Amino acid sequence: MLTCCTKDGETIYQINPDEEKPSTAPLVTVIYGPNGLGDRSYNDLIYKGVETAAKKYGLRTLQLSPETEEQGLAYLETMFRQMESATDTVRRLFVTPSPVYDAYIRKNNKRLEKNPNADLLYMETTTPLDGKGSTLYIDYYGAMYMGGCLVHYSAENRYSYGDLVTLLLANPYTQSVVEAGEGFLAGFNDPLPVRTPLLSLHVRYLSNEAVGGFTTSDTTAYRIYREECNYEDEYLDGSNLVTFVPICGGAMHPFFRVVRSSFWAKDTYVGIDADTTDDDNFCLFSILKHIDKVMIDYVGLWLNGSLPKHQTLGLADKATDVIIGQYRYGVERMLWMNEGPNLDSLRQVAIRKEKARYEK
C-alpha cells in the first residue's frame, strides 16, 4: 500500500516519509441556512466565534453557506452518510444554526449514534433532540423588552407628537423572531415613569413564509420606508419621523441604508444582533446576541465532553444585552439629563420578565 508499481514491478511512486500527514485535529463544521453568511449579523457572529475558538483550541473548521435549502440538505445528508461509516478517530462537531433544516435534523440525528466521535449542535430551538445531539436557544425576550422601553427615550421622539416606531419582523413563524417581537412589544407597552406616550407602533412582516424575510432588496426597503412614512393614522400627516426596529437578520441593512439617505435625515433605527452604535447620527441603540462568545464557550464544552443536552441562555447569562449609543438626540442624552430609566434597574426588570415568560 505504500508503494505503487507497474505490472513489471517498476516503482512509479513511493510516499515521501517527510510529506505532511493529514491533520487529525478536531474539526468543527457549520452548515448555515441558505445564503446565511454575509449578513453582518447573527450568522457572521457565529462564523467569528467558531474561527476564534479554532485559534484558541487548535482546531480545524469548515463553514458552509449553501445557496439553496436543497444544497444545505445535501450537505447534511453527506455528513450523516460519512459519519455512519467513518472508521477514523477524528473528533467532529457539526453545527446547524438554521431552523430551515429542523424536520430533516430531527429525522436523521440518531444516525450519528453509530459514531462516538461525531457530535451535533442544533441552534435556535427550545425543543431538545430525541437521540444524539445538543440544542441551544438564545432567548431575546428580555433584551428586546429593554429595547421596547428605551425606544421612548429618544429626545426626538419624546418631544415630537405622533412619530412612528415600525417593528419589522422577518416572518410570523420563526420562533426566535416571534418571541423577540413579543418582548419588544411588551416593553413598548409597559407603563414607565417620565414617559410621554407620543409614539405610535406598527408591526410589519417582510414575508409570510416560514424562515422567509431574512433578505430583501434596497428597492423593497425603500418602498416599505415610503409606506411607513405615510402610514395612515389620525395623528400622522405623512411627514412623521420613523424608527425602524428590524428583527429580520441581514434584511436589516437595506433599511439602514434607506434611513441614512432619508430626506429629513432624522429617521432612526435600532441595531439588532450587531453593534451599530458607531453610527451616531441614526442608531438609537443596539440589541445584541453575543452568539460569537457563546460559540467559543460551547466549542470548549464540546472538547471537554460536557456539551449540555439543551440550554437556553438570555439576558441573565449575558448572552444578550443592550448597548446605548451616542446618538445626538438619543437615549444617552436622556440618561444624562436624568429623564430616562435607570438601566441597571430596567435590566433586572427585563430579566424577571424573561424568566417568568420562559417558565410559563
pLDDT, position 210: 85
Q: Give the burial string for 153-169 (b: 16+ CB within 10 Å, else e).
A: bbbbbbeeebbbbbbbb
The terminus-to-terminus CA distance of the chain in angstroms comes to 62
Residue 19 pLDDT > 70: no
Map grid coordinates 482546531 to a residue. 59
The least confident of 142-146, 272-276, 348-352 is 272-276
pLDDT, position 30: 97
Domain residue extents for the chain: 19-138, 141-289+320-359
Note whether 19-138 and 141-289+320-359 share their fold: yes
Superfamily of domain 19-138: Response regulator (3.40.50.2300)
Three-state DSSP state, 84: helix
Q: How far is CA 199 from CA 122, 146, 153, 242, in A?
A: 39, 16, 10, 10
How far apart, in whole angstroms, are the C-alpha atoms of residue 91 and residue 71? 24
The DSSP call for residue 312 is E
Q: Are strands 60-64 and 27-31 parallel, antiparallel or unpaired?
A: parallel
- Out of 3.30.70.270, 3.20.20.70, 3.40.50.2300, 3.20.10.10, the CATH code matching 141-289+320-359 is 3.40.50.2300
**Residue pLDDT, tens place only, 180-216:** 999 999 999 986 544 555 688 999 999 999 889 999 9
Judge contact between 235 and 162, C-beta under 8 A: yes
Question: In this prediction, what percent of the chain has a pLDDT beyond 90?
Answer: 63
How far apart, in whole angstroms, are the C-alpha atoms of residue 210 and residue 182? 18
Q: Are strands 11-14 and 3-5 parallel, antiparallel or unpaired?
A: antiparallel
